[in-house]
Amino acid sequence: MDPLKVATISTKNFIGEADRSIKNMSKWARKAASEKVDLIVFPELCVNGYVHHNVSWDLSEPVPGPSTDRMIALASEVNAVICFGILERDADVVYNTQVLVSGNGIIGKQRKIHMPHVEYLYWRSGFEIETFDIGKARVGISICYDSLFTELARSLYFKGAEILIMPFAYNTPVPRNRFPEEDITALCYRTTCYSNGFYGIVCNNAGNRKKNKWEPEGNKFPGWAGVFGPDGDVISFTRGKGNGEAMSIATLDPKPLEMRRKNACFVPRCLKPEIYFGIQDSDQTGKA
Protein backbone atom coordinates (compact mmCIF):
# COMPACT_ATOMS: atom_id res chain seq x y z
CA MET A 1 0.00 0.00 0.00
CA ASP A 2 1.11 3.55 -0.82
CA PRO A 3 -0.09 6.71 0.95
CA LEU A 4 -3.67 7.34 -0.14
CA LYS A 5 -5.89 10.38 0.39
CA VAL A 6 -9.59 9.57 0.66
CA ALA A 7 -12.81 11.57 0.79
CA THR A 8 -15.85 9.78 2.17
CA ILE A 9 -19.03 11.73 1.44
CA SER A 10 -22.48 11.36 2.94
CA THR A 11 -25.02 12.53 0.36
CA LYS A 12 -28.81 12.74 0.24
CA ASN A 13 -30.67 9.72 -1.12
CA PHE A 14 -33.21 10.38 -3.90
CA ILE A 15 -35.59 7.64 -5.08
CA GLY A 16 -35.61 7.25 -8.86
CA GLU A 17 -33.73 10.48 -9.57
CA ALA A 18 -30.39 9.25 -10.90
CA ASP A 19 -29.73 12.49 -12.77
CA ARG A 20 -30.28 14.56 -9.63
CA SER A 21 -28.16 12.17 -7.57
CA ILE A 22 -25.23 12.22 -9.98
CA LYS A 23 -25.33 16.02 -10.27
CA ASN A 24 -25.18 16.22 -6.47
CA MET A 25 -22.38 13.67 -6.28
CA SER A 26 -20.49 15.59 -8.96
CA LYS A 27 -20.67 18.77 -6.86
CA TRP A 28 -19.18 16.92 -3.89
CA ALA A 29 -16.58 15.10 -6.00
CA ARG A 30 -15.31 18.44 -7.29
CA LYS A 31 -14.99 19.70 -3.71
CA ALA A 32 -13.01 16.57 -2.88
CA ALA A 33 -10.84 17.05 -5.97
CA SER A 34 -9.79 20.46 -4.65
CA GLU A 35 -8.17 18.51 -1.79
CA LYS A 36 -6.34 16.30 -4.34
CA VAL A 37 -7.83 13.04 -3.08
CA ASP A 38 -7.12 9.66 -4.66
CA LEU A 39 -10.36 7.89 -3.68
CA ILE A 40 -13.92 9.18 -3.24
CA VAL A 41 -16.54 7.02 -1.51
CA PHE A 42 -20.32 7.53 -1.74
CA PRO A 43 -23.10 5.65 0.14
CA GLU A 44 -25.10 2.51 -0.54
CA LEU A 45 -27.60 2.87 -3.42
CA CYS A 46 -26.81 6.55 -3.75
CA VAL A 47 -27.60 6.65 -7.50
CA ASN A 48 -31.11 5.14 -7.76
CA GLY A 49 -32.27 5.33 -4.16
CA TYR A 50 -32.57 2.97 -1.21
CA VAL A 51 -36.22 1.92 -0.81
CA HIS A 52 -38.04 -1.25 0.28
CA HIS A 53 -40.47 -1.48 -2.61
CA ASN A 54 -41.00 -3.27 -5.92
CA VAL A 55 -40.14 -0.01 -7.65
CA SER A 56 -36.51 -1.07 -7.20
CA TRP A 57 -36.83 -3.23 -10.31
CA ASP A 58 -38.02 -0.25 -12.38
CA LEU A 59 -35.20 1.94 -11.07
CA SER A 60 -32.44 -0.59 -11.69
CA GLU A 61 -30.06 -0.39 -14.65
CA PRO A 62 -27.25 -2.43 -16.20
CA VAL A 63 -23.61 -2.15 -15.18
CA PRO A 64 -22.00 -0.94 -17.38
CA GLY A 65 -24.81 1.43 -18.27
CA PRO A 66 -25.79 5.10 -18.43
CA SER A 67 -25.06 5.97 -14.80
CA THR A 68 -21.73 4.14 -14.68
CA ASP A 69 -20.72 5.91 -17.90
CA ARG A 70 -21.41 9.27 -16.24
CA MET A 71 -19.48 8.27 -13.12
CA ILE A 72 -16.50 7.19 -15.24
CA ALA A 73 -16.54 10.62 -16.89
CA LEU A 74 -16.69 12.24 -13.44
CA ALA A 75 -13.77 10.13 -12.22
CA SER A 76 -11.77 11.27 -15.24
CA GLU A 77 -12.65 14.91 -14.52
CA VAL A 78 -11.63 14.80 -10.85
CA ASN A 79 -8.72 12.40 -11.41
CA ALA A 80 -9.77 10.00 -8.65
CA VAL A 81 -11.21 6.54 -8.16
CA ILE A 82 -14.90 6.74 -7.21
CA CYS A 83 -16.94 4.13 -5.32
CA PHE A 84 -20.74 4.44 -5.48
CA GLY A 85 -23.91 2.40 -4.93
CA ILE A 86 -26.39 1.46 -7.65
CA LEU A 87 -29.38 -0.81 -8.24
CA GLU A 88 -27.92 -3.18 -10.81
CA ARG A 89 -30.14 -5.18 -13.18
CA ASP A 90 -28.64 -8.32 -14.70
CA ALA A 91 -30.83 -10.78 -16.62
CA ASP A 92 -33.95 -9.22 -15.06
CA VAL A 93 -32.61 -9.74 -11.54
CA VAL A 94 -31.81 -6.76 -9.29
CA TYR A 95 -28.71 -6.51 -7.10
CA ASN A 96 -27.60 -3.97 -4.53
CA THR A 97 -24.18 -3.19 -5.98
CA GLN A 98 -21.24 -0.97 -5.18
CA VAL A 99 -19.12 -0.02 -8.21
CA LEU A 100 -15.53 1.20 -8.40
CA VAL A 101 -14.58 3.35 -11.40
CA SER A 102 -11.62 5.37 -12.60
CA GLY A 103 -11.33 7.63 -15.61
CA ASN A 104 -10.32 4.55 -17.60
CA GLY A 105 -13.51 2.58 -16.88
CA ILE A 106 -14.98 0.14 -14.36
CA ILE A 107 -12.41 -1.31 -11.96
CA GLY A 108 -14.88 -3.76 -10.42
CA LYS A 109 -18.15 -4.20 -8.57
CA GLN A 110 -19.31 -5.91 -5.38
CA ARG A 111 -22.89 -7.14 -4.94
CA LYS A 112 -24.34 -7.11 -1.45
CA ILE A 113 -24.25 -10.66 -0.07
CA HIS A 114 -26.17 -10.64 3.23
CA MET A 115 -29.66 -9.15 3.40
CA PRO A 116 -31.61 -7.99 6.45
CA HIS A 117 -35.21 -9.13 6.38
CA VAL A 118 -36.55 -5.85 4.94
CA GLU A 119 -34.50 -6.28 1.76
CA TYR A 120 -34.99 -9.90 0.75
CA LEU A 121 -38.01 -9.25 -1.46
CA TYR A 122 -36.42 -6.48 -3.50
CA TRP A 123 -32.93 -7.56 -4.58
CA ARG A 124 -30.98 -10.78 -4.80
CA SER A 125 -27.85 -11.69 -2.86
CA GLY A 126 -24.47 -11.67 -4.54
CA PHE A 127 -22.25 -14.75 -4.33
CA GLU A 128 -18.74 -13.46 -4.98
CA ILE A 129 -16.22 -11.88 -2.60
CA GLU A 130 -13.79 -9.72 -4.55
CA THR A 131 -10.85 -7.41 -3.91
CA PHE A 132 -9.82 -4.65 -6.30
CA ASP A 133 -6.51 -3.01 -7.16
CA ILE A 134 -6.97 0.79 -7.26
CA GLY A 135 -3.30 1.51 -7.87
CA LYS A 136 -2.13 2.71 -4.46
CA ALA A 137 -3.94 0.00 -2.49
CA ARG A 138 -6.06 -3.12 -2.71
CA VAL A 139 -9.62 -2.67 -1.43
CA GLY A 140 -12.56 -4.84 -0.46
CA ILE A 141 -16.18 -3.77 -0.11
CA SER A 142 -18.78 -4.84 2.45
CA ILE A 143 -22.18 -3.22 1.96
CA CYS A 144 -24.09 -2.25 5.12
CA TYR A 145 -25.27 -5.50 6.79
CA ASP A 146 -22.33 -7.33 5.19
CA SER A 147 -20.05 -5.36 7.51
CA LEU A 148 -21.29 -7.29 10.57
CA PHE A 149 -20.10 -10.63 9.18
CA THR A 150 -16.59 -11.30 10.41
CA GLU A 151 -16.27 -14.20 7.96
CA LEU A 152 -16.61 -11.80 5.03
CA ALA A 153 -14.01 -9.40 6.39
CA ARG A 154 -11.57 -12.22 7.10
CA SER A 155 -12.08 -13.58 3.58
CA LEU A 156 -11.23 -10.13 2.18
CA TYR A 157 -8.10 -10.06 4.33
CA PHE A 158 -6.94 -13.38 2.88
CA LYS A 159 -7.73 -12.07 -0.61
CA GLY A 160 -5.30 -9.23 -0.04
CA ALA A 161 -7.47 -6.28 0.99
CA GLU A 162 -5.74 -3.44 2.82
CA ILE A 163 -8.74 -1.10 2.90
CA LEU A 164 -12.33 -2.08 3.66
CA ILE A 165 -14.97 0.21 2.12
CA MET A 166 -18.25 0.06 4.07
CA PRO A 167 -21.13 2.00 2.46
CA PHE A 168 -24.48 2.20 4.28
CA ALA A 169 -28.15 3.13 4.15
CA TYR A 170 -28.47 2.64 7.88
CA ASN A 171 -30.87 4.36 10.29
CA THR A 172 -28.66 4.38 13.37
CA PRO A 173 -30.29 5.83 16.51
CA VAL A 174 -27.12 7.38 17.97
CA PRO A 175 -26.38 10.94 16.74
CA ARG A 176 -23.64 10.99 14.17
CA ASN A 177 -21.27 13.12 16.24
CA ARG A 178 -21.23 10.34 18.89
CA PHE A 179 -21.65 7.34 16.56
CA PRO A 180 -18.07 5.98 16.47
CA GLU A 181 -17.80 5.77 20.26
CA GLU A 182 -21.36 4.97 21.38
CA ASP A 183 -23.03 2.75 18.77
CA ILE A 184 -22.39 -0.98 19.14
CA THR A 185 -22.34 -1.50 15.36
CA ALA A 186 -19.69 1.21 14.96
CA LEU A 187 -17.61 -0.62 17.55
CA CYS A 188 -18.04 -3.78 15.47
CA TYR A 189 -16.72 -1.97 12.39
CA ARG A 190 -13.76 -0.67 14.34
CA THR A 191 -13.06 -4.15 15.73
CA THR A 192 -13.14 -5.52 12.18
CA CYS A 193 -10.41 -3.04 11.26
CA TYR A 194 -8.39 -3.99 14.35
CA SER A 195 -8.66 -7.75 13.91
CA ASN A 196 -7.78 -7.67 10.18
CA GLY A 197 -5.38 -4.75 10.02
CA PHE A 198 -7.65 -2.76 7.67
CA TYR A 199 -8.22 0.87 7.10
CA GLY A 200 -12.01 1.16 7.20
CA ILE A 201 -13.92 3.76 5.19
CA VAL A 202 -17.56 4.19 6.27
CA CYS A 203 -20.20 6.27 4.50
CA ASN A 204 -23.94 6.53 5.20
CA ASN A 205 -26.75 8.29 3.35
CA ALA A 206 -27.86 11.68 4.68
CA GLY A 207 -30.95 13.77 5.24
CA ASN A 208 -34.70 13.54 5.76
CA ARG A 209 -36.85 12.13 2.99
CA LYS A 210 -40.45 13.34 2.98
CA LYS A 211 -43.45 11.02 2.82
CA ASN A 212 -43.85 9.58 -0.67
CA LYS A 213 -45.84 6.93 -2.51
CA TRP A 214 -43.27 4.27 -1.69
CA GLU A 215 -42.64 5.31 1.92
CA PRO A 216 -45.79 6.43 3.77
CA GLU A 217 -43.68 7.57 6.73
CA GLY A 218 -40.78 8.97 4.74
CA ASN A 219 -37.24 8.11 5.78
CA LYS A 220 -34.29 9.56 7.66
CA PHE A 221 -30.59 8.90 7.25
CA PRO A 222 -27.99 9.99 9.86
CA GLY A 223 -25.42 11.35 7.43
CA TRP A 224 -22.22 10.06 9.01
CA ALA A 225 -18.96 9.27 7.25
CA GLY A 226 -15.40 8.70 8.33
CA VAL A 227 -12.27 6.59 8.46
CA PHE A 228 -11.09 4.02 11.02
CA GLY A 229 -7.47 2.95 11.35
CA PRO A 230 -5.92 -0.55 11.41
CA ASP A 231 -5.79 -0.27 15.21
CA GLY A 232 -9.52 0.44 15.31
CA ASP A 233 -8.95 4.11 16.11
CA VAL A 234 -11.10 6.93 14.70
CA ILE A 235 -8.96 8.85 12.21
CA SER A 236 -11.61 11.23 10.91
CA PHE A 237 -15.39 11.51 11.22
CA THR A 238 -18.29 13.85 10.52
CA ARG A 239 -19.01 15.46 13.89
CA GLY A 240 -21.46 18.21 12.95
CA LYS A 241 -24.91 18.20 14.51
CA GLY A 242 -27.95 17.11 12.50
CA ASN A 243 -28.00 14.71 9.58
CA GLY A 244 -27.16 16.86 6.57
CA GLU A 245 -24.66 16.06 3.86
CA ALA A 246 -21.02 16.07 4.92
CA MET A 247 -17.54 15.06 3.83
CA SER A 248 -14.66 13.59 5.80
CA ILE A 249 -11.11 13.58 4.41
CA ALA A 250 -8.12 11.60 5.63
CA THR A 251 -4.72 10.48 4.39
CA LEU A 252 -4.11 6.76 4.88
CA ASP A 253 -0.50 6.09 5.85
CA PRO A 254 0.79 2.58 5.09
CA LYS A 255 3.06 2.54 8.16
CA PRO A 256 0.32 1.94 10.82
CA LEU A 257 -1.12 -0.85 8.67
CA GLU A 258 2.31 -2.45 8.36
CA MET A 259 2.92 -2.16 12.09
CA ARG A 260 -0.47 -3.66 12.96
CA ARG A 261 0.11 -6.65 10.72
CA LYS A 262 3.63 -7.16 12.08
CA ASN A 263 2.32 -7.37 15.64
CA ALA A 264 3.13 -10.73 17.22
CA CYS A 265 -0.50 -11.12 18.32
CA PHE A 266 -2.06 -10.08 15.01
CA VAL A 267 -5.17 -12.26 14.89
CA PRO A 268 -4.92 -13.78 11.36
CA ARG A 269 -1.37 -14.95 12.11
CA CYS A 270 -2.61 -16.90 15.13
CA LEU A 271 -5.57 -18.62 13.46
CA LYS A 272 -5.94 -22.40 13.82
CA PRO A 273 -8.31 -23.23 10.94
CA GLU A 274 -7.71 -26.96 11.22
CA ILE A 275 -9.43 -27.12 14.62
CA TYR A 276 -12.50 -25.01 13.93
CA PHE A 277 -15.95 -26.50 13.63
CA GLY A 278 -16.84 -26.87 9.95
CA ILE A 279 -19.79 -24.52 9.51
CA GLN A 280 -20.33 -25.46 5.88
CA ASP A 281 -20.36 -29.20 6.57
CA SER A 282 -22.39 -29.03 9.77
CA ASP A 283 -25.96 -30.32 10.07
CA GLN A 284 -26.28 -28.20 13.25
CA THR A 285 -26.33 -24.81 11.51
CA GLY A 286 -29.26 -22.78 12.78
CA LYS A 287 -30.19 -25.29 15.49
CA ALA A 288 -30.34 -24.39 19.15
pLDDT in single tens digits along all 288 residues of the chain: 999 999 999 999 999 999 999 999 999 999 999 999 999 999 999 999 999 999 999 999 999 999 999 999 999 999 999 999 999 999 999 999 999 999 999 999 999 999 999 999 999 999 999 999 999 999 999 999 999 999 999 999 999 999 999 999 999 989 999 999 999 999 999 999 999 999 999 999 999 999 999 999 999 999 999 999 999 999 999 999 899 999 999 999 999 999 999 999 999 999 888 888 765 555 544 444
This prediction has a pTM of: 0.95
pLDDT per residue as tens digits for the range 127-149: 999 999 999 999 999 999 999 99
Long-range contacts of residues 119-122, Cβ cutoff 8 Å, at least 24 apart: 119/52, 119/145, 121/52, 121/54, 122/52, 122/53, 122/54, 122/56, 122/57, 122/94
What is the tens place of the pLDDT at every residue in 58-91? 999 999 999 999 999 999 999 999 999 999 999 9
Nearest alpha carbon to residue 78 among 54, 102, 57: 102
Q: Which CATH number fits domain 4-275: 3.60.110.10, 3.40.1010.10, 1.20.1250.20, 3.40.190.10?
A: 3.60.110.10
